[in-house]
Structure formats: C-alpha cells, structure tokens
Structure 1
C-alpha cells in the first residue's frame, strides 16, 4: 500500500468513526441535512413544534438539550437581556446534545426585548440582534413590528455586508469578529458560517429564521408591507397583546374576541401570500390535527400536541 493510499484509508476511517460516534450519541440513524432543524423540517413539509423559555444559562440549556421540542423560543421580551447568559445557554445545549435527530442543538430563536416601533428604534438597537446571533442563535423575533422600514432594518441587522445583494434591503450590518464564536457553537468553520448565516428563504442556503410579531392594531395595519420585506421568513401572531390593543382583557378560559380572531385570519392570509411561515400559538392535542391539515407549519405547542402531530404526518425525523 502506497503512503498516499494509507493516508486516504486513515482519513476515511477517521471520518467513519466520527459519523458512527455521532449516530450512537444521538441514538438515531437519521443524518441531519441542515444546521437549523426547523428549516430542515419545513423544507421536508413537516410541521415544527416549539416551546418557549424565559431566559436562563448553562444548566437550563443542558437540561433542555433532549427536549421534545424541535425549536426553543428563548423569550427575553419581558425578561432581562443578558447575551453572556444566552451564550452559556447555547453551550449547555451543545454539551447535553446532540438531539435525538442528530442535530447539534434544537433550533433556538430569540424573542428580543425591543419592538419594531419604527426604523430608528430598530437601527439604534440592532446590536441586540448582532449579539444573540454571535452567541449562536438560529433566528430572532422582534415584537410589535409597526413599520416597513423597521422590518428592513431587522433583516439588515441579521446579515453580513458580504451577503448577496437584495433589492430593497440595504447592506448587512453584522460586523467581523463575532463569527468565530457563532461558528464554534454551530460546529463549523468561520468561513462556512459567513456563507450560511443569512436569512432563509431569501438565501436558500441560509440557516437563520428572521421574523416578527404583528401584535397590535398599528402592526396589523401594515402587515402587507412588513411581511413583503425580503428576508422575513417567519411571523407569529400575538393574540394576548392584540386583544389589549383592542382595549380588551381576556379572562381565564375565555376565548379570544372576534376582532382578534379576524386579525389572525388576516395575518395568516398575508403570510401565505408572501411565503412567510406562520407561527401558531396555543396548539394542543385537541386542535393540532386540524391546524396541521390547514397547512400551519410552526406551532407553539406542548409535548402531547407534538406527539399527536408527528404521528399524524408519519414523521421520519426523530424529535
């Protein structure tokens, strides 16, 4: 055997060992095709089931590493914003992983504590987007998106200047220096991170889900403009805030008002027109099949709803 053949054999053997170890560690023969598990599921035509978590650090991340959820909503809208703690949360997910599906971590989408009130507000706070993405987040949601310019600024904040140019969206605002840690969190090289850390589906190879919540009357009035911004990939309606915007308070066990349900239908229709993923709330074991059959692809749900939904679609990918 020549030295070249011996070297090639050694490399192949090492690769096989790594793949074998990853499969055994995840307890699954499934091989992930993407970093972002949620995007992978959507491209497969499978609904995504996610849970929300109000902040937390390393131990919380490690405890959630084997969660039933495909994605985790790291919600700090009403909680203290701490990028260092979020970095530790991501590290906990990694150390407790991989997921049963073989992904390094579940998809993690951060709901930020700044609203898309106007473009100036988003530009003044774009550093929040930059910091959570640099810590390894797979996406961000911005609340109260009331202005088209604010949605454009959000997309810019999630992109690098070297990203493919897109008409109607300015040059990316992310700076060099943060890609090293983010790449480490994703388990890839910095060069590969720079290539794929871009909003999907604007960039078909992108691994970031960027979106917002139209959760008040002002936001509802402009959804045809905000959802049409290139790079917006997901929208989650906010029924509780929407109800307050209509001057109403929902009591325990009381259904949402007709105005709020009409708002949901309007948001869903515009999302479908723009090929934006609609994120549903309140999905449970009783309504999940109806919602899945209606084409809803993203569900804030519970474990039983996820089990019923996955069984209904004969899902192949492990949770």
Structure 2
C-alpha cells in the first residue's frame, strides 16, 4: 500500500536513490503506457519543447486510467520543467502563470531552470503555495496559488479538492506536502549564489546542469565527464551548498570509458540522491548495487 501520493518523496524518505526518464509524447495513449514505467519518476521537458499543457493534462489522465503502478500508487510521479528561466524575481513573477498551469494539470513537482538569485527562488516557492500554508513563512511571503484550479489535480491525485489544497505544498518544508520542488544551478552566477539559494525554504533538491554550466565557462559541449577543473570545482560547490541545507542532489555521470556500475559508483560515492541518464538497464544495475528494498514501478 502506497504511503504517499508522490512516489519520489516516499523513496527519498526511505533512503533510496531514485531514477527518472522523460515522459515521451504528451498524449492520453502514452499516459496509459507510462503508467507501468520502470522509472521512479517521469520528467516533462518544457524547457526545450512546446509548452503543451493540454497534452500534459491528457497524459496525466492516461496515467490514472493505466494505473495503479506496480508499487500501488495512483500514478507515477511527474516532475515538470518550465519554458521560462529563474534568473530574476521579475522573470519569475511575469511567468508565474506557467507554474499554476502545470500544477493544475496534476504534476507532482517542478524543476525550474537557470536559478541565479535567492529572491527569485523565494518567489518561485511562493507561487507554488496556497496562502493559508504557514510553514516556513519566516523566510517566505504569502503563497500565490488561488482557489478554483484544484478540482482537476485533485482528480489526478485521487483526493478531494479540499484535501488537495492541504497537501499540495512543498516537501520537506511541510512534512505532509506532496510537491517535490527543485532547481537547476547551471551557470557561474548560480554557483556563486548557491549557498543563499539553497537556504530558501521549500526546496527539496538541486542539480548542477553540466551542459549549461560548461557553456558558461565557454565550452560548447562539456555535458559529460571527464570535466575540466573549473567544472569539478563548481559541482563540489553546489553539492556542498545542498548538503549544508539538507537538499538532495541530482547528478548525471556518463563517462564513456567506464562501465554502468563504475559510473553509478561515482554517483554513490559523491552522495547524489537522484541519478540522471542511462535508462532502464543502468537503473537496474544501480538498484542492485544499493540493494533496493522498495518496489520498482
């Protein structure tokens, strides 16, 4: 019996590393198929592809109708990126409608891109919350989600609209919250401000975005290791900021000169919690290495 709506939080609370893959086509039919995904969560890439909320809504309904998952959840967890970046507070406020739209489609979290400044990150967390939630208000302003959009995500989550508003709040700031919110810290300004950013209440995880981070150092393609020294330095800087503030760290490691097991071991030794890249076979290797206890799927 699933303990939570959000599978990712359940796994993280159990100390299990988690693996993800893309949603694929945002259609009802693909939602039916992805309900039995091998991954611990699915990620929707609106950062680089069309912002198709109608497709996302159909996909989420397909997940429900294709479920429950093998582990007993109503749907797999779905985390969404957004078309806008999180460079400044002005950019965040101007694009807050994107946050409301994906959350109202029933997703379980957001991974926001190019976070650079702590005040912009605070605005992001506020836009994800309802005004009556008080946890962490010493570091945050009033929540900005409004009444009227809770029926649809409540149906996806299998709860009443009132219950949805109670639990659609960031974890672990709210221990009962089911929203898993994270950031890509993927340029030199992000790294320089990483301590202040990671202190913002309401975050659950961060990643260091090596592709874009490499570009910020003038490299056209530095996504995969081996990395130049400056890339290692900023990764360690961001990981340290995450650790000091209790945030989980998302990282890929796909060194073509190493086996899947060797690449996974690097992530384990690094202390990463969310593993990116490699697909189902690599995830199976990693789960065996860490003696996965929780059911897959």
Give the alignment's TM-score, normalised by structure 2.
0.92
- What count of residue pairs does the alignment treat as equivalent? 289
Q: What residue is the counterpart of 1:3 in the other structure?
A: none
Aligned to 2:164: 193
- 3-state SS, counterpart of residue 262 of structure 2: coil
- 1:251-281 per-residue CA deviation (whole Å, 9 max, x = no partner) reads 7976332222221111111100000111112
Aligned twin of 1:299: 275
Q: Which residue of 1 aligns with 2:287?
A: 310
Please, which runs of 5 or more residues in structure 1 have no aligned partner? 1-30
Q: 2:243 aligns with which of 265, 268, 272?
A: 272
Deviations 1:174-225 (A, max 9, x none): 0101111111000111121111110001001100011110101111111111
| 8 Å Cα contact 2:214/2:222 also seen in 1 | no
Q: Which residue of 1 is the match for residue 148 of structure 2? A: 177
- Pair 1:233–1:254, CA change in 2 (3 A): closer
User: 1:55 touches 1:74 (CA, 8 Å); kept in 2?
Assistant: no
Corresponding residue SS for 1:40: helix
* 3-state SS in 2 of match to 1:51: strand
Residue ranges of structure 2 left out of the alignment (5+ in a row): 255-259
Q: Looking at CA atoms only, which structure, 1 or 2, has the larger radius of gyration? A: 1
* Aligned equivalent of 1:146, options 94, 100, 116: 116
**Aligned in 2, Cα 1:100/1:264: closer, same or farther, shift over 3 Å?**
same
Q: Aligned to 1:287, what secondary structure does the other structure show?
A: helix
The alignment's TM-score, normalised by the length of structure 1, stands at 0.86
- Cα deviations by residue, 1:70-122 (Å, 9 ceiling, x for unpaired): 01111110101121111111111111111111111111100111111100110
Rounded to whole Å, the distance in 2 between the matches of 1:209 and 1:258 is 31
* Structure 1 residue 162: Cα displacement: 0.9
Identify the residue that residue 257 of structure 2 maps to in structure 1: none
Contact 2:103 2:153 in 1 (8 A): yes
